[in-house]
Structure 1
Amino acid sequence: MTSPHVALAQTWRCDHAQAALKPNIHRVSGAFRKGQCGVRRVRFHCRVSQRLMLLQQMENKLGDQNKEKASQRQAAENAFKRNLSLLKDIEAAEESLQTRIHALPPPEVVSLETLYWASVEEYIPKWEQFLLGRAPYPIGVENQIEAENTIQNKAAIASSHTVSKNLSSKAEH
C-alpha cells in the first residue's frame, strides 16, 4: 500500500519530468526523435504512476467501504439479538399475565357455575315462549303471587327493622 506522501511525490516527479522535457519537444533536428522517445517514456511512466495511484486510492476506498459494511452488519446483528431478547421478555410477560387472568376458579365456584347453567338449560324452553310474547308467565300464577308476597314480606321486615333501629337510636340520645 502506498501512503499519500508517496503518491504526492510520484505526482510531483511526473509533473517536473514533463516540464523538463518540454524544450526537447520543440527541437527540429534529428535529436527530435530521441527527445520524443524520452518524452514518450516519461509520459508513459507518468500515466502508469497515475494509474497506480488511482488504483491504490480505489483499493483504499474499497477497503474502507468493506470495513463500513462489516461494521453495519455487526450493528444489525447486535440489534437483531437485542430485539430477539426483548421479544422473548415481552412474550414471557404476556404469558405470565395470561395465566393470572385465566386462573382456574376454586372448585366450589365451578360446581355452582355448573349447577347454574344446568338450571338455565332446564328452564330455557319454558321461558323462551314467554320472552317472545307468545305464552303466559311460565312458572304459574300461584308461584308468581307467592314470589310477590315473599318480596313484599322481606321489604316489610327490612323497613320495620330500619324503623325499630331508628327508634332505638333516638332513645339512646
Structure 2
Amino acid sequence: MASYTHEEFELSQKHEDILGKRALLLQQMEAHYEQQKAKKKQQRLMSQAAKERNAQILKDLQNAEKNLQTRQLLHPDIINLETHYWASVERKLPEWEQYLLGKGQPPVSETGRLLRQQKLKTRQQDPSPAQCKGKPPRPKPR
C-alpha cells in the first residue's frame, strides 16, 4: 500500500506538471491569437487605405484623360511649322551625324562660309588697337 501512495504522489506530481505546461501553452496560444487578431486588423486598415489611394488615383487618371480629350488642338500653322522643322532635321541629320557622335567637324554650309568671310572683312576694316587713340579699355570686374 505504501507503494501505491508513492506512485500516486508521482502521478500527482506529473499531473501538476502537465497542468502547468497546459496553462503555459494556453497563455501562449492566447497571446498568439491576440497577435493574429491585431495583425488582421492592421492588414484590414492597410487594405482600406490602399483602396482609398487607388480610388483617388483612378479619379485623377480619369480627370487627366478628360482634360486631354477636351484640350484644344494646336493651330494648323503651328503643326505645319513643326512638321517642316522635323523634316528639315531629318534631311540634315546625315550631314551632322559624325559631328554629333563626336567623330568629326561640324558641316559648313554656304551661309556659314559667307558669314565667316564677312567677319574677316569687318576685322580687316576695323582699326587695330595701336591705331586707336583714347583711353584703354577698363578691366573686367571680378
Match of 1:55 in 2: 18
Partner of 2:108: 134
Match of 1:122 in 2: 87
Letter in 2 for 1:69: H
With the length of structure 1 as denominator, give the TM-score of the two structures: 0.45
How far the C-alpha of 1:72 sits from its partner, in A, is 1.1
For structure 2, which runs of at least 5 residues remain unmatched after alignment? Answer: 100-105, 115-142
Structure-2 separation of matches of 1:90 and 1:48: 62
Q: What letter matches 1:43 in structure 2? A: H
2:39 counterpart SS class: helix
Please provide the CA RMSD for this pair: 3.4
Match of 1:65 in 2: 28
Looking at CA atoms only, which structure, 1 or 2, has the larger radius of gyration?
1
Between the aligned partners of 1:135 and 1:70, the Cα distance in structure 2 is: 82
SS for the counterpart of 1:133 is coil
How far apart, CA to CA, are the structure 1 residues paired with 2:42 and 2:74? 48
- Residue matched to 1:85: 48
Matched residue type, 1:119: H
SS at match of 1:109: coil
For residues 133 and 87 of structure 1, do their structure 2 counterparts lie closer, same or farther at Cα, with a shift above 3 Å needed? same
Q: For residues 60 and 123 of structure 1, do their structure 2 counterparts lie closer, same or farther at Cα, with a shift above 3 Å needed?
A: same
Partner of 2:73, secondary structure, is helix
Report the alpha carbon displacement of residue 109 of structure 1 after superposing the two structures with TM.
2.6
Aligned partner of residue 108 in structure 1, secondary structure: coil
Over the matched positions of the two proteins, sequence identity in percent amounts to 9
Distance 1:45 1:98, change over 3 A: same
Q: Distance in 2 between matches of 1:45 and 1:57?
A: 18
* Distance of 2:77 and 2:9 partners within structure 1: 100
How many residues of Structure 1 are paired with residues of Structure 2 in the alignment?
102
Cα 1:44–1:126 change in 2 (3 A) is closer
1:49 CA displacement:
1.0
State the distance in 1 between where 2:75 and 2:59 align.
Answer: 23
| Structure 1 residues 89 and 45, CA gap change in structure 2 (3 angstroms) | same
Given the two structures, how large is their TM-score scaled by the length of structure 2?
0.53
Q: Which amino acid aligns with 1:124?
A: V
What is the identity, as a one-letter code, of the residue corresponding to 2:36?
A: R
- Structure 2 residue identity aligned to 1:61: L
